[in-house]
Amino acid sequence: MSARFGVDIGGTFTDLVVVDEITGAIRVGKVLTTAKDPAHGVEQGVQSLLDEAGVHPRRVRAVVHGTTLATNALIERKGARTGLLTTEGFRDALEIRHEGRYDMYDLLIDPPPPLVPRHLRREVPERLGPDGSVLRALDEDAARRVIAGLVRDGVEAVAICLLHAYLNPVHERRLAELVREAAPSLVVSCASDVVPEIREYERSSTTAANVYVAPLMARYLEDLERRLTGLGVPGQLYIMQSSGGIALPPLARRLPIRLVESGPAAGALAAAQAARARGDSRLLSFDMGGTTAKACVIDGGAPLVAREFEVARADRFKKGSGLPVRVPVIEMIEIGAGGGSIARVDRMGLLKVGPDSAGADPGPACYNLGGRQPTVTDADLLLGYLDAEFFLGGRMRLDRAAAERAVLEHVGGHLALDATAAAWGIHRVVNENMAAAARIHGIERGRDLRAYPLFAFGGAGPVHCWQVAKVLKVPRILIPFGAGAMSAWGLLAAPLAFDFVRTLRARLDAADWGALNRLFAEMEDEGRELLARAGAARESVRVSRIAEMRYVGQGHEVEALIPPGRLSAESLPAIIAAFEAAYRALYHRVPQGVPIEALNWRVTVAAPAPSLTFGGAVAGGAAAPDAVKRTRRAWFAEANDWVETPVYDRYALGPGTTFDGPAIVEERESTAVVGPGARCRVDERRTLVVELG
């Protein structure tokens, strides 16, 4: 059993990679996503790739899977009918939110409605104090009547979120027992299990989201495991979490909210691994697929991690306009800009691209699968960037005439433009949209992206990276070998890992070090046990500890590393120094004489990451002239005209090869486009390095 699979389901394509760990043989695959039955597309892709690679199913020891199914269910509101049990008097906390408005000047603002409507939010008599003490015991008879009412109303899942239960879960757990007694088939989530930390609204929102998607994810994972077993694959299925670690299906079924950004996280991991392999301390990861584009800042060879994420934002760039989920997530910005993004002319006569996508069904007009709207892929085909006969390595023929009809009918005709001008408008608008999103992502984190090389991947990323890089003024572009399935590569580089959090509010100068040591020991022991059950050797597990701290009187926390080992008063200088360094990095100054307090204490336990070389170090290869397959007319703004452009075979370009732009470099799963003035070389890992000049 030496083969491992990485499987990433996107909005348009499902990407697959299989690696033979003995021979080093690698095979990449890409199939259309079956949106109505995602597991079917995975089954087809795995079977096809096994046949192509000549790998017997029984040799597969692991399948690592990333999916946006949970995210899509939240965005599309296609989860379970969910009820909420909460403390008497707090029924509307989920709807009151923070009382603020994400856009104070918009009088017609309408925040996204809660996942649980008001008539399914029920109160139970009980009350805990802010220290976790029981002020009023749970009234079990009243709770049974409330639960019976939810059952009569046809709920499929129940979220339980009681005031201050993060300090004392006794009432939440008893309520869960009462729900299971009344209706054993209902799915139940307690906030004390999902997100045991302070801040009531975020706890309620996260717990409701978790149980809302739980039945859907459970059915999907069971179906996927059954299909893999049917193929004769005996290996363990692992699921990518949004934090960049992988977990076993039972944990994913219990806490599916931790999968909310599972697919995009894999791409960021791939970029981080590439940065470390190259010795680069920073990169800007740019992942453009069929439906969305994602940008992620890589610093110190690792992606930034956030502790909260908003799903289904009403306004993509406005914090507070979505549903907050309080889980660790690789921090990135994502916009509706992909190969399948639909172009249109709005009522003001302006060209818009996205966020709606043609997806895999019906797909872009050029797919000839029923799509009639013009998309980014249609525009790229008309501009000469894509080969109609070599899409997906020739397995899918594109219809140029259909693309031209769609672009002229829906864009060119409204703007009095010919097909070329309309297609270039679509291409340029989507590039500007992606560059603007990436710039905002960098500014919000205090980063100057002009110092960050652009690491471009995904099916459409290499096609658009030249123009995006020019807008951002980055120093160079890196296009990895196998760029079209790089997120699937990232899945195979992910370690078994899990995060834990506990709230214990304490001023550092008066901390109860014994209580903190017990808190950390509890989280670390639980993490080691989880990883041991997943097959990780206890002695190989790495533990990192973080505290969320602030100056007394502040409302927001800053993360700082906590030193390993047993904590005591002697640990205080190191903790304060770590906090002040993190605070200064954000605000460039630290206040003097103000005490520091900590709210949340976090532990991450992780097994060693698998060893994997992206692209492989390959010697030899053809000289640049010998790697040219043909020439093709392509449109470049630098020339303001069509240019006869050499088309290179990616597989013939060995390390050390150099050539100048304009150029088109084709591989089966993606196409790279570089413009006039570019200097290109292939490094020892077969990464295409493009200097903008």
DSSP per-residue letters across 260-285: TTHHHHHHHHHHHHHHHHHT-SEEEE
pLDDT in the model for residue 97: 87
d(CA 279, CA 283): 11
pLDDT in the model for residue 415: 94
DSSP string, 18-37: EEETTT--EEEEEEE--TT-
Question: Which residues on neighbouring strands pair with residue 17, listed in sequence order?
Answer: 6, 28
Structure tokens at 309: 């994420």
d(CA 256, CA 218): 9
| Beta carbons of 268 and 490 less than 8 angstroms apart | yes
Question: Which residues on neighbouring strands pair with residue 502, listed in sequence order?
Answer: 601
CA atoms within 13 A on the CB side of 537: 4
- Spell out the alpha helix ranges (H) of 24-130: 38-53, 69-76, 93-96
Three-state DSSP state, 419: helix
CATH superfamily for 3-73+218-259 is: ATPase, nucleotide binding domain (3.30.420.40)
Helix axes 170-182, 140-152, angle to 10 degrees: 50
Say what the alpha-carbon torsion angle 123, 129, 133, 137 is, to the nearest 10 degrees: -30
DSSP 8-state symbol, 495: P
Three-state DSSP state, 192: helix
pLDDT in the model for residue 616: 46
**Residue 444 amino acid letter:** E
| Beta carbons of 528 and 605 less than 8 angstroms apart | yes
Structure tokens at 290: 């069929």
pLDDT in the model for residue 623: 61
Question: For the chain, which ranges sit under pLDDT 70?
Answer: 1, 316-317, 612-624
pLDDT in the model for residue 316: 65
| Domain limits, the chain | 3-73+218-259, 77-211, 497-606
d(CA 550, CA 561): 13
**Residue 519 amino acid letter:** L
CA atoms within 13 A on the CB side of 646: 15
- Condensed to tens digits (0 to 9), the pLDDT of residues 337-391 reads 889 999 999 999 999 998 888 887 899 999 999 999 999 999 999 999 999 999 9
Backbone angles phi, psi at 96, to 5 degrees: -65, -30
Residues ≥6 apart with Cβ < 8 Å to 347: none
